[in-house]
Each structure stands twice: as structure tokens, then as C-alpha cells.
Amino acid sequence: MSQARKLLSRWGETFLPVVAVAAALVVGAVMLLALNVNPLEAYGAMLTGVVGSVSGFTQALVKATPLLLVGLGITIAFRGGVINIGGEGQLIVGALAATAVALALPGWPGVVLLPMTLAAGIVGGAAWGGVPGALKARLGVNEILSTIMMNQIAVQLANYLLRGPMIDPAEIAAGTQIAQSAQLPEQVWLVRLVPRTLLNAGAIIAVVAAALVYIFLWRTTIGYRIRAVGLNPDAARFAGIRVPLYQALSLILGGAFAGLAGAVEVLGVQHRMLEGLSGGYGFSGIVAALFGKLHPLGMIPSSILFGGLLVGADKMQRAVQVPSALIGTLLGLIVLFVVSSDIWVRYRARRRQTHE
């Protein structure tokens, strides 16, 4: 194979996810036509809604923050060969734990309380990921199904806590009974980066986390073992790696990052815990992780892109009255296209083997 063609095929593999997104947008355009909407107008509204103003772009970054953190957790799990669908539940429990700690110690100074609150989120998410992890390691329970069930349980747990023990006393006094916690003490709020927008220091935390995950997976022994288990569990076992332990660990770490995402969302954006906080980040985080080719640094542009898509969908809904549910459909298609395109990568790899 000529040098040029080799280069071309490598580029092809790198940009397969981009092709997948483009293909999904084309299918989306057909659906828009079926709904009697001009696709150019709809996608135009999406694009200008995001890049056309400072507020649109910062909104995209605000949404990219939890996507990046959740996606990092999913990246670790997938690299370890376990499929973590539980980002949603882990994020919710992380947010609940962070809220509980911040509300329990309102008089404490921010320098102490803020790290404690973030740590609570990490621990909460790790625990929620740890249950499926332990069940997989000990009893061989399918982690896809157990993490999905843990999502449902987390939603109910949040409903219960936010209507009962954790409800804002002001809500009871006013008789409105909205399911949300009291506002967190101001010293734990994350700094806003751009005035009059929601963009906050959480975005910096997420980018630092991405760098740390990269170092962890590629520069530490534990990270190396996690990847070895994911690449080939049998070979890893022969090499003396305790496979179940590392599978459980990758679920726990995955949960930790999703939990951190929940804490950051509470501390940076909402300043309280409320129902529906997660907004599907657990699932869109999977899409972003796949698009980022399960690479922590690739996740950074990927999460910005998908944050933009989510914001763009809202703008499109307002501009051309297309329900933002369209974006959910497109996310599903992107997943299907990305995993389907794997066969092309494998085919190229085999051809290269036989040719060289």
C-alpha cells in the first residue's frame, strides 16, 4: 500500500465518527422534511443559536461540562471492557450527596466545605457505580442491566428525598411543594467565568479531569491494567491481572466521575438539587464518549460538539417549532452508526495484515 493511501486510511478511521454524525444529520434532514420543516432552516437555527452569540456558546460549554465528566467515566469503564449505562443514576446520587454535605455544614468556610462537597459527589457516584461493579466481580451480574436498574432506583431515591427529608423548607412554608432542596450556602458556589452567564469553574475542573484521566490510563500501572483487561481479558488473566477486580474498579471510577459531574452541576449551575437535574447526560455522555473515540482528550472537543447540539436543539425548537426530541433520535442514530462503522476499521486492519 502506498504511503499516501495508508495515510488516507488512517485519516478515514479518525474521522469515522464525524461521518457518523454527518450521516445522522442527513437522516434527521429527511425526518424534518417529513415533518414539513425546511432542514436548512432548522439546522441553520441550530447553528446560529449556538455560535451566533456569546450566550449561545457559553450555554453549549455549560452543557459540555457534565457531558465531559460523565463521558470520562464512561471512557474508563469502556476501556476496562465494562459497559456502564449508569451515568444517569451515578450523576443523580453524586448531586444528592454533594447537596446533603453542603446543606449539613452551612457555617463552614468555603476552602474546606467546597472540596468536601466535591468529594461527597465523587464518593456518592463511586458507591452507585460500585454496586454493579461488586455484583459483576462477585456474581457475574450483567453490568448493562444492573446499571440501568440503578438509574431507575436513583431517580426514585431523588424523588423521595426531594419531596421528603431534603425538600426546601421554603417550599413547605409557601405550600408550593416543588421537589427541590434548599439553596446551597454561597461559599460553595463555583466561580462564574463569564459575567451574566452560567459558565463556571466546573468547566475548568472537567478539562483538568480529562488530562488526569489521560495520565491515569496511559501513564500508570493501574490504568494500564484496566486497558489490558478491556482489550483481552483472557490474556490479562494469563498475565496475572485480577480481571474481576479491575472490571469492578473501572465501574467505580466511572461512577466517581459521573458523581463529580452531578456535584459540579449543583455547585456551578443550579446552586441546589432539583428533580430532573441529570437531563439525560448519562446517555448523551455515552454518545460523546464514543464520538471522542474513548480517548480522554478526544472527549474535550466531542463534549463541546454535543453540548452545542443539545443547546442547538432548544434553539431550533423555538425557531421552527421542531420538538427538541429530534436530538434524542439523532443521538441514537449516531451511536448506531459509530458502532456499525467498527466493521470498516476491522476490515482495514485485516487487509493491512495480509498485505504487509
Rule CB under 8 A: say whether 328 interacts with other proteins: yes
Rule CB under 8 A: say whether 331 interacts with other proteins: yes
The residue range among 2-10, 58-66, 116-124, 340-348 that interacts with other proteins, by the rule CB under 8 A, is 340-348
Kindly tell me the sign of the dihedral angle through the C-alpha atoms of 234, 236, 237, 243: negative
Amino acid at 322: V
Output the nine-digit C-alpha cell for 215: 495520565
Rule CB under 8 A: say whether 299 interacts with other proteins: no
Q: Which position among 238, 343, 354, 355 is part of the footprint of other proteins (CB under 8 A)?
A: 343
User: In sequence order, what are the beta bridge partners of 114?
Assistant: none
Rule CB under 8 A: say whether 4 interacts with other proteins: no
CB of 323 to other proteins, least distance (A): 4
Rule CB under 8 A: say whether 325 interacts with other proteins: yes
The size of the interface with other proteins (CB under 8 A), counted in residues, is 46
Instruction: Check: CB of residue 184 under 8 Å from CB of residue 102.
Output: yes
Q: Which position among 336, 349, 351, 352 is part of the footprint of other proteins (CB under 8 A)?
A: 336
Q: Which is nearer to other proteins, 350 or 352 (CB)?
A: 350
Kindly write out the interface string for residues 85-124 of this chain, putting x where it contacts other proteins by CB under 8 A and - elsewhere.
x---------------------------------------
Q: How many CB atoms lie within 10 A of CB 39?
A: 18
Q: Which is nearer to other proteins, 88 or 265 (CB)?
A: 88
Output the nine-digit C-alpha cell for 315: 434553539
Instruction: Check: CB of residue 225 under 8 Å from CB of residue 236.
Output: yes
Q: Which is nearer to other proteins, 10 or 350 (CB)?
A: 350
First to last CA, the chain: 8
Rule CB under 8 A: say whether 38 interacts with other proteins: no
Q: HEC profile for 317-351? A: HHHHCCCCHHHHHHHHHHHHHHHHCHHHHHHHHHH
Rule CB under 8 A: say whether 258 interacts with other proteins: no
Rule CB under 8 A: say whether 339 interacts with other proteins: yes
Rule CB under 8 A: say whether 15 interacts with other proteins: no
CB of 156 to other proteins, least distance (A): 5
Long-range contacts of 304-309 (CB under 8 A, 24+ apart): 304/60, 304/61, 304/64, 305/21, 306/63, 306/64, 306/67, 306/331, 307/59, 307/60, 307/61, 307/62, 307/63, 307/64, 307/65, 307/67, 308/50, 308/51, 308/60, 308/63, 308/64, 309/46
Kindly write out the interface string for residues 123-142 of this chain, putting x where it contacts other proteins by CB under 8 A and - elsewhere.
--------x---x---xxxx
Rule CB under 8 A: say whether 156 interacts with other proteins: yes
Rule CB under 8 A: say whether 201 interacts with other proteins: no
The residue range among 6-14, 96-104, 169-177, 339-347 that interacts with other proteins, by the rule CB under 8 A, is 339-347
Based on C-alpha coordinates, what's the Rg of the chain? 21
Give the separation between CA 210 and CA 67, rounded to whole angstroms.
12
Phi-psi region of 271 (alpha: psi -120 to 50; beta: other; left: phi over 0): left
Q: Among all chains, which residue has been given the C-alpha cell 468529594?
A: 119
Q: Which position among 23, 29, 105, 149 is part of the footprint of other proteins (CB under 8 A)?
A: 149
Rule CB under 8 A: say whether 305 interacts with other proteins: no
Rule CB under 8 A: say whether 159 interacts with other proteins: yes
Q: Which position among 249, 273, 286, 299 is part of the footprint of other proteins (CB under 8 A)?
A: 286
- DSSP three-state, residue 172: helix
Rule CB under 8 A: say whether 269 interacts with other proteins: no
CB of 224 to other proteins, least distance (A): 23
Q: Residues interacting with other proteins, by CB under 8 A?
A: 31, 35, 83, 85, 131, 135, 139-142, 144-146, 148-150, 152-153, 156-157, 159-160, 163-164, 283, 286-287, 290, 323, 325-336, 339-340, 342-343, 346
